[in-house]
Amino acid sequence: MKLKTKSLLVVGFFMLLFLGLLLTTIRPILLEDAIKLDETNIQRELDIINNQMISTMGMIKRTNLDWSVWDDTYLYIKGDYPEFPEVNLQKATFENTMLNFMIYLDDKNQLVHQVGYNHEKKEFLTLGKEFYKEYLPVVQSKNNEKTHLITTEYGLIVTSFEPVYLR
């Protein structure tokens, strides 16, 4: 073998050895940095989701409070305004408030009215007679928090409960 070929083989061998050592020492550092970057991105996305949920819960709570202090709501729960659902619970109500359902209970937690709305199909839903009972444990809890995030078989639901205030 010529000197030129031997030199090329020796240089090539040491280059490969150097690259191998370089990759084995740098790779863990690069992976560690990539993991930290992923964790930072995941935390940022979780913060965005959390803030969005807090915002949505606040919006639903404000909407619910607005309806709970309304004289028409009080009169309806009391039984003096039977036209309330047909006058006030229109498709536009659900589209403007982005609510999926409303449940009205009396002071004994008995159902007065419940209505659901499908935003994708833009039509009212027929809720089962027992639908409201799924939320009674939360309504009856001694917890002062009136807005909740509940896990159901269909996913997460933001709920807000507010008593109808007397005039």
Structure tokens at 81: 């305004």
Three-state DSSP state, 79: coil
pLDDT tens digit sequence for 55-95: 988 999 899 889 989 999 999 999 999 999 999 999 999 99
- DSSP code at position 165: P
pLDDT at 167: 58
Asked if 159 and 145 touch (Cβ cutoff 8 Å), the reply is no
pLDDT at 26: 83
pLDDT tens digit sequence for 125-163: 888 888 888 888 877 776 667 788 888 776 778 888 888
Q: Any idea how long the chain is?
A: 167
pLDDT tens digit sequence for 33-59: 889 999 999 999 999 999 999 998 899
Q: 161, 149, 66: which is closest to 105 by C-alpha?
A: 161
Q: Could you give the CA distance from residue 122 to residue 29 in angstroms, rounded to a whole number? A: 53
pLDDT tens digit sequence for 15-37: 999 888 888 888 888 888 889 99
